[in-house]
Amino acid sequence: MDKFLINGPCKIKGKVLISGSKNASLPILAATLLFDKPVIINNLPRVRDINTMLNLLKSLGSKIILSKDKKTAKIINKRNMKTYASYSLVKTMRGSILVLGPLVAKYYKSKTSLPGGCLIGARPVNFHLTALKKLGMRYKIKDGYILAKSNGKLKGSTIKFPKISVGATENSIIASCLAKGKTILKNCAIEPEIKDLTNFLNSAGAKIKWSGRTCKIIGVNSLNQTEYSIMADRIEAGTFCVAATLARGNLQINNLNPKIIRTELNLLKKIGAKIKIDTDKILIKGPDKIKSINNIKTKEFPGIPTDLQAQLMVLMCRADGKSSITERIFENRFMHVAELQRLGAKINIKNNKAYIDGNTKFIGAELMSSDLRASVALVLAAIVADGKSSINRIYHLDRGYEKIEEKLKKIGVKIKRVK
């Protein structure tokens, strides 16, 4: 298993090119199952989760032609696709549950493995199943699989999500595109990645309209051929902005619309970063002194994203006083804390709240990755730590960050990947 060797502390300076968003690519790739005609998707990130999703589509019968740089996929579905999404593929990437809605909407049946939990929580899919059932899907759970079918086309309905869920919102929007009649989804997640999904579907003739957290979809018979470019990854951009703030860096983050990380940038300004924005770039300079912020809370968009919580915790370890972070989205997303404590961090956890003493001097150590975002937090800590750190099991990182060591090397980080 690969690991990273990082020799800290590092000064970071230079330009970073942000890759396409993993969390916009996954629902958009799943939604290509609705199409009879070829679909071209540009700006895909070259990360493991995208390979997994492409392999899943291939296992269902899609023909996928990848460009040389693997950032463009042309997807051609067969007339009769398979509708079985195996556990072997779904277990490696929970986002595979997003094929359930399109398969039932298009082929009126599907045998899709339950994704199971992961390190950050139980990750149930009850909101997905309840919503799809309201659209006419019938299902039973057997041997860890969802055996689903519908009696012909799904039928439009009004659905109010009991809790805001990114995946359940995406599955329902995708399925409603081919349903008969109108669907109204209330209390939707409104992450930018979901807007990217609905822009993609509308570019192919879907009829989707938003007002606040309500999404209205008028079903159509079929979708047209289309070509679409995935939006930039706001979590990757946020991660590099935290890195600049943490390491007194001076970075230019390119090809991202700063509006989609406005909340994060406002928080980093409060912490002391100097930030200038342009239409598609961010100039960020880290402060000499990092201000501590009390009671940072992760929230659904447009709040502080849970996918940035671990990275912000590293920042607060180096702040000039006490701070706290409350994780409100997942029930167990503090795996990075034990690893940060091995680097010298002073953090106490009470339920879903972390209390952080600041002014930590990280000392390089041997570290273990756990989930995707916790792993990148360890990289950030190693960048400012005194001495050598090695970070094991970086396959977690490869799931969601495209060639991160190359991007980090380019801005001055002394990092090496060893097999």
Give catalytic residue positions. Answer: 118
State the minimum distance, in angstroms, from the CB of residue 93 to ligand EPZ.
8
Site membership for ligand EPZ, residue 127 (CB under 6 A): yes
Residue 368 CB partners (closer than 8 Å, separation 6+): 339, 391, 392, 393
123 in contact with ligand EPZ (CB under 6 A)? yes
The one among 71, 128, 234, 248 contacting ligand EPZ by CB under 6 A: 128
Whole-angstrom distance, CA of residue 108 vs CA of residue 288: 59
- The rounded distance, in Å, linking the Cα atoms of 150 and 33 is 16
**What is the closest distance, in whole angstroms, from the C-beta atom of residue 199 to ligand EPZ in the complex?**
16
221 burial level (CB within 10 Å; 0-12, 13-18, 19+): exposed
The residue among 94 and 106 lying less far from ligand EPZ, judged by its C-beta, is 94
Q: How many CB atoms lie within 10 A of CB 138?
A: 13
Residue 378 or 385 having the CB closest to ligand EPZ:
378
Q: In what order do the strands lie in the sheet with 3-8?
A: 366-368, 387-392, 3-8, 415-418
Site for ligand EPZ in 298-337 (CB under 6 A): 306-307, 329-330
Measured from the CB atom, the residue of 306 and 370 that comes closer to ligand EPZ is 306
Min CB(414)–ligand EPZ separation in Å: 26
Part of the chain binding ligand EPZ (CB under 6 A), chosen from 84-92, 126-134, 207-215, 338-346: 126-134
Pairwise CA distance, residues 74 & 27, whole Å? 16
Residue of 163, 259, 270, 361 interacting with ligand EPZ (CB under 6 A):
163
> What number of chain residues touch ligand EPZ (CB under 6 A)?
23
**Locus of tokens 């970075």:** 251
Residues 6+ apart with CB under 8 A from 406: none
- Is 12 within 8 Å of 412 (Cβ atoms)? yes
Least separation in angstroms between CB 32 and ligand EPZ? 16
CB of 311 to ligand EPZ, least distance (A): 11
Residues that bind ligand EPZ (CB under 6 A): 23, 26, 95, 121, 123-128, 163, 165-168, 189, 306-307, 329-330, 372-373, 400
